[in-house]
Amino acid sequence: MDVELRGITKRFGPVIANEAVDLVAKGGEVLGLLGENGAGKSTLMNVLCGLYRPDEGEIVIDGRTVAFAGPGDAIAAGIGMVHQHFMLVPVFTVAENVVLGVEPVAALNRLDLAAARAKVREIGETYGLTVDPDARIEDLPVGVQQRVEILKVLFRSARVLIFDEPTAVLTPQEVEEFFQIVRALRDDGKAIIFITHKLMEILEIADRVSVLRAGRIVGGGDPGAMSRAELAEIMVGRPVRFEVERTAFTPGAPRLEVAGLTVLHDTGEVAVDGVSLTVHAGEVLGIAGVQGNGQTALIEAITGLRPAVTGRILFDGQDITDASPRARHAMGMAHIPEDRQRMGLVTDFTVAENMVLDSYYSDRFSNGPAMDWRAVNRWAAEAAEAFDVRTPTVFAQAGHLSGGNQQKLIVARELMRDTKLVIAAQPTRGLDVGSIEYIHARLMAARAEGDGVLIMSSELDEILSLADRIVVMFKGRIVAEFDASAAPPDKAAVGLAMAGAAP
Amino acid sequence: MTAIDPRAPAVADLGALRRKRGTGAALIVLAGVILLLFGDAAGDATFRLSRPRDAWVLGDLIVPALPVIQIAAALTAFLGARQFLRGGGRWTTLSLGVGLALFVMAFLVWATAGKAFSLTGMLQATMVRAVPIALGGLAATLCERVAVVNIAVEGMLLAGAFTGALMGSVIGGWGGLVSAVAVGGVFGFLLAALVVTYRMDQIIAGVVINLFVLGLTSYVSSQVFAEMRHLNNAPVFRSWKIPVLGDIPVIGPMLFDQNIFVYGALVMVAVSTYYLFHTAHGLRARAVGEHPRAADTLGIDVYRTRYIHVTLGGMVAGFGGAWFTLGSVGRFDENMTGGRGFIGLAAMIFGRWHPVGALMAALVFGFTDSLQQKLALLQTPIPSEFLAMAPYIATIVVVAGLVGRARPPAADGKPYVKD
């Protein structure tokens, strides 16, 4: 089955998300749709799967023009989408999720789960997607949940499969298995649209690539004939440097020492289980691991947002286990939190107000009991300038900035002072290549100045390119450590440790 | 290669440990309370198991009061000690439940010591009093399963009671019943419109409906009904005994010698359980309550599903409201539902958002409610005001102590915004 998008334009108010986009996906072929975040990839695919209606243009399936009133129509036309954030009901079983909306029923509208299970097994065997139909989604690892999403689409007899950033949540091993499945589907004659901003994935899996930038198709062709640098240049619109520039590794005294730290989840379960680690001055320690293995709780404990049940945390030799976040901040700890919108910023506040969230109480910003807004604004303008935060004025709402500029705003607030220890959690998640480049350079600059830098990321490539030393967390424990000061360690070995296999 | 044990036990679940210990200590204290409060009982307690005109008559159950109370205290203390030392998991809730049941039993024996008490009559009254709570809980369950919090159950019950009395007086019992259901449905639809289409805060929308219904019905009842008594004089649905089944000793009168409201409640609980958990549309409804966006991507109309279920919930509440007038006294009084709708919400939570659970919880509340009535007759030394508090105390104990970590539908209370 072939699908063609012709001249698709989609606007949200004054914002144009897609402009006159033409795209063709053919059966038996993997089409890579490459673009930075905010380039309009997801909007385009939501048009194709019936969630949005295009303002202009048409969708043509096998030569016939179609119009979708809703997702149901797109599903009926054979288009299935595997969303970036899985659309699975956590408390339902695999079989229930797969059949939801097109349930096989017996008399009295009774749900025929036996038929559903049989069908799940049958499809699973055809494509190597083995899943226990009676398992509950919330008990399954993310990689398996993704298989359920694929099963769901296949159960609806989809012949066009759209994958939206499918590898974001997978371990390297899971990615390999996932690519096998994609190839099996392609060889079966399905048309695959693979959305990503990762160049290596396009080079590995796509038969053809189309590049989207600022809502328009700006290039494409046979990825076999293109280099990574060429693709990146088309995607970003300028040449991109991939290597992080780093100075020689000269570690100093320990900045942060964590010993036997145990931290609980809100539910009372153990999140961090007896973790010990050290970050030296002038060193980047990378914490690798699949999301949800206790990294978040560990960062929260180090920054003072979550109490330690057992263990000690030392900062420059001083015990800060029970110190308040403000005390830690005053000692020179910078924290770039995991979720910039929820933890890093007050999105309804202005850029200037966000710039002083950590220091509004200091004398330089006050006039007696009143805020000295002029000083705040002056300082915010300086910081925005110094850290390349692109905002019309410092009075703009932080929530209206792009993701990259929001993140640079946080980095500016945290690093625009004398720091000794930088804790960065997912510092570049969901950012465009340019912002990633910039933030990485800033973190390396902190390292060069003798700060201890702790970076937690679920992007293994990010850890590999920045860290001098890598520890891997799995189920709340540190299960492996790799030295990366001379050369990056073997990616496969780190990946195995992330999946819980000891080396 | 060795896989790492995923069930890292290192620091065992501290929260669970505290909970286990806490429950154990509470039970031991409860045992002491039983001895202290009820240890002065003397004589035998007589429990009547049959009514005089029953087809099969069982003899009375006569127990010596003090020894039974002492045994109950000993059992409670044992449960507490066991819980403290090595309970946990499922045992925590079970022990607490059994402990509370023993407490109630000891209390009954103490209050009845030297007197006679009709157990059958109380079970029958338990069922009757559970009906409005169960129907309120069922109505709220239908709404919350599609993620709409329905605080307005109270107002819907009251609207049903009022409509039942008014229309029952004008066009007869059946007409009144149908009208009550319809008015409940109208308020359900109104709530759905407010919270689904206009995305009003669900709690506030519920409170607004409650206050509106309370004000309107109170006004009409004091201004209009006071003048025109014939508008507030509805026929009452009499109980209808099912042959044979109604003659079963003890539980027969409770389940099979009742009026249409009891039978209606039991049927609705059964039907909605089948609907929610065994049909395709029930699966879709639950998906809307758990993960509306997922449902949306699969072509399920989230808004429509919510409208339908909240309206259905309103109709169930309207039926439950009619119980107060058409199923009981035949006339409407100001605020006659007296918070039963809110207790229904508690029953829903206690019943873990399951119709059968809500019914069971409602029976617990109905039991304390009828106990309070019967005890007033037994002339215990406890002031009647304290007894009147019993259902509410039971609500607090049950919701805070027994439910523990029940999990509401994931999207409960959140409006769904299609973007």
Alpha carbon A38 to its chain's center: 13
Q: How far is A80 from chain B (nearest CA, A)?
A: 10
Percent of chain A with pLDDT over 90: 57
Same domain, A429 and A405: no
Residue of chain B minimizing CA distance to A493: B1
- Choosing from A417, A452, A467, the residue where a domain stops is A417
Same domain, A231 and A279: no
- A240-273 tens-digit pLDDT: 777 777 788 888 999 999 999 999 988 788 999 9
Q: Is B13's pLDDT higher than 60?
A: no
Does residue A342 sit within a domain?
A: no
Does residue A340 sit within a domain?
A: no
Chain A residues lying within 8 Å of B278, measured CB to CB? 110-111
Same domain, A376 and A451: no
Helix (H) or strand (E) holding A482: strand A477-483
Strands A79-82 and A15-25, sheet pairing = unpaired
Same domain, A312 and A366: no
Q: Domain residues of chain B, as ranges?
A: 14-114, 121-402
Chain B residues lying within 8 Å of A73, measured CB to CB? 299
Tell me the mean pLDDT in the region A305-319.
94
Rounded Cα distance between B305 and B284, Å, is 8
Same domain, A325 and A359: no
Same domain, A175 and A249: no
Residue A213 corresponds to which tokens in the numbers above?
A: 């930038």
Which pLDDT value is given to residue A217? 92
Q: Who among A269, A474, A475 is closest to B13 (CB)?
A: A269
- B311-368 tens-digit pLDDT: 999 999 999 999 999 998 889 999 999 899 999 998 998 888 999 999 998 998 888 8
Strands A254-264 and A270-280, sheet pairing = antiparallel
Q: Tokens 């107060």 map to which residue?
A: B324
Does residue A307 sit within a domain?
A: yes
Q: Is B91's pLDDT higher than 90?
A: no
Same domain, A176 and A88: yes
Which pLDDT value is given to residue A478? 94
C-alpha distances in Å from residue B347, one per residue of A120, B227, B355, B358, B373: 37, 38, 10, 5, 20
Q: Who among A73, A102, A273 is closest to B10 (CB)?
A: A273
Tell me the mean pLDDT in the region A330-359.
92
Q: Pick from A450, A485, A438: which is nearest to A464 by CA?
A: A485
- Choosing from A209, A236, A263, the residue where a domain stops is A236
Q: Tokens 């029976």 map to which residue?
A: B363
Residue with the larger pLDDT of the pair B13 and B208: B208
Tell me the mean pLDDT in the region A430-457.
90
A493 burial (CB, 10 Å; 0-12 / 13-18 / 19+) is: middle
Percent of chain A with pLDDT over 70: 99
- Choosing from A395, A417, A439, the residue where a domain stops is A417
Q: Which ranges of B149-241 does DSSP label H, i.e. alpha helix? A: 153-171, 173-192, 202-220
Residue of chain B minimizing CA distance to A293: B6
Lowest-confidence range among A144-148, A372-376, A380-384, B101-105? Answer: B101-105
Q: Are A220 and A193 in contact (CB under 8 A)?
A: no
Same domain, A125 and A155: yes
Between positions 264 and 283 of B, the ones with CB within 8 A of A are 278-283
Same domain, A437 and A479: yes
Q: Pick from B164, B175, B157, B182: which is nearest to B231 by CA?
A: B164
CATH number, domain B121-402:
1.10.3470
* SS3 assignment for B311-378: HHHHHHHHHHHHHHHHHHHCCCCCCCCCCHHHHHHHHHHHCCCCHHHHHHHHHHHHHHHHHHHHHHHH
- B355-413 tens-digit pLDDT: 999 999 899 888 888 887 777 777 777 777 777 777 677 767 766 666 555 688 989 98
Tell me the mean pLDDT in the region A402-421.
91
- Map residue A55 onto helix, strand or coil: coil
Same domain, A160 and A70: yes
User: Structural domain of residue A91, as residue ranges?
Assistant: 3-236
Residue A58 corresponds to which tokens in the numbers above?
A: 């048409």
Q: Are B42 and B114 in contact (CB under 8 A)?
A: yes
pTM of the model: 0.79
Model ipTM?
0.82
When divided into structural domains, chain A yields a total of 3
* SS3 assignment for B35-72: HHHHCCCCCEEEEECCCCCCCCCCCCEEEEHHHHHHHH
Residue with the larger pLDDT of the pair B82 and B136: B136
Same domain, A219 and A193: yes
Helix (H) or strand (E) holding B277: helix B260-278
> In this structure, what CATH number is given to the domain that contains residue A426?
3.40.50.300
Does residue A337 sit within a domain?
A: no
Q: How far is A111 from chain B (nearest CA, A)?
A: 5
> Within 13 A of B73's CA, how many CA atoms are on the CB side?
19
- B160-188 tens-digit pLDDT: 999 999 999 999 889 999 999 999 999 99
